[in-house]
Each structure stands twice: as C-alpha cells, then as structure tokens.
Amino acid sequence: MSDEITSAVLKSDTSEVTVLSMGCAIQSWLVDGQPVVLGYDNPEDYRENPYCMNIIVGRVANRTANSRFELGGTVWKLPSNDGPHHLHGGAKGLGWQNWDLQQLSDSAVVLRLHSADLDQGYPGAVDFEVRLTLDGSALTWEMSAVPDRDTPINLAQHVYFNLDGRPDLNGHRFKINASKITPTGADLIPTGAITEVDGTRFDFRALAGLAEKDPGGLGYDLNYVIDDTNGPKARVVAENGMDMRLWTDQPGLQFYTGVHLNRFGSPSHAASHGPSSGFCLEAQAFPNVVNEPSFGSTLCSPDQPYFQRTTIDIRKPR
C-alpha cells in the first residue's frame, strides 16, 4: 500500500468533513462554515501526532496497566508509551498507520487496514474497517474488526472538539448521561472500583460549565459509565449556539479536556491548541478492561468480531 496520505471530503447542506487516510483522522469539520474541531493543516503532521489529534486509537484504546495482559495462559507484553503503561494501542498503533481510503459518495467513505500478528505486541492478525457517513449535521462512525484468533479489541475516535474557536473551553457547557465513573489513581489507571458521581465534581448529569464544576482547573481525563437510557449519551452547548449530541452503543465515555494538549505542527483555525483548548468524548469499553474482569470483556474472535457505532451531531439553530 502506498505511504501517500490521501483524503476524502464529505459534504451536506450544513456540514463539511475532511477525512485522512493516516489514522482515519478527521482533519477538519465545518458547520455552516465554522470549524468545530482542532486539527493540523498539514496532513504530514498526523504521522507523528503526539496528542492523538482526531484519529482512531487502538487496537486497544485508553490505558493498559503495566503494558501487559494475560490471554490463553500467556502473558502478552505490549510496548510502553505512557510511563510503564500502554496507551491507545502503542506509539505505532492504528492511529499512526496509513489506511486504505475509498470514497463511496459525497457523504460516505470507508477505510481499511490489515494489522499483522503481533502488531504492537497484540496476538492475531486483524482486518479493520471504519465507515464514516455524514447525514445532514450528523457524522457516524461504524467501526468493525475481524481477527483470526482470540484477541482484545477496543477502538475509539479521539477527536478534539472546540465549538466556538476560543482559546479555552469556558464558553462550553457539558452534559454526560452517566451516574457512575471508574475512578483512577495518579497514573490514570482505574482502581477497579465503580463509584457514584453524585455530590462530586464529576457530576455532569445536567448541563454545566467547567468553571462551575472544576473551579480549581484540574481538568478531566476519566471514564464515565454510561447510563442505560434513551436519547443522547452526551451533549455540549456553546455560547455561540453550537449544539453537539453524541449517541453510542459503547458502555464507556472518556471525557478529556485536553489538559496535556500543546501546540504542534500546523494548528488549524483560530483555536490556540494550548492546554484545555479542546475536549474529547471517546466512546469505548472501560480503560484497562483487559486486566479488570469486572469491567466486562473486549475479547473478540473470528466468530465474535468487533463492532462499534457512534454518531455525533453538531448543529447551530437557525
């Protein structure tokens, strides 16, 4: 496969989304001509991409404690890229590989990647496919993977959103339909507990701004246990009227307010790309699930392949 980074542009009457072959990255997303994501103007910046800007992360998203897990009586060692831990599939995970991109129509694109056995230390070869469809103001990710043997798979879109172009997120209010979280230690590895958000700064069950919930400016980088309710799983409203809603079939939602983000490469738009200038809502299984049986399972097989469907709708009332 060619190493050239290719792109596809999806268009509707209100929205335009540019997708890159490198990491399945969302390079830009315009709503009524206004940027609603951070990004890099130069596609080559996505090869290094130290902040996982707008890519699909995996094979296993989020953190794996001590870069290891046990499967089939074997301990599988993964490359460490977050201190002693393994993050987002490793430094050369799916988000730093060049996928085969095929534009299907003005509103759809499909990307495919074959990941060889022991790619980033994971057992088994896997065929990945990500299909992106723009329907009006809604962008849907349909992510599937078929392995040739038992292996863990947990993908996530890692798009940094900024709905108003300001250098911070103070003009945004957040709602996450989750009454529980998986708390972490200082290294951001879950403790294994599942706790209630009631009475804590993590309670976003009603729309609230960061200054209200987090006056100390600590930021957020935490998995929410999504409530089993109808309707959007998360909503973000900006002062300029932009209204974002998210639906997913995944059990967890990592809320990250970009506390470690910094300027790199060719930042696009007016947003600063400084700390806390963008936020991520990453639908996925729970962090470190491969080492926490109580968190469920991400084990996939030829007979039980992986699938995720996540939709994000961003619109501005007319």
Catalytic residue among 85, 88, 158, 172: 158
Instruction: Report the distance separating Cα 279 and Cα 234, nearest Å.
Output: 13
Cβ neighbourhood burial of 138 (10 Å; 0-12, 13-18, 19+): middle
Respond yes or no: is residue 239 known to be catalytic. Answer: no
Cα torsion through 110, 221, 246, 46, rounded to 10 = -30
- The owner of tokens 């059990």 is 251
* Residue tagged active-site, from 86, 88, 172, 282: 282
Annotated catalytic residue 158: yes
Residue type present at position 132: L
User: Which residues are catalytically annotated?
Assistant: 158, 282
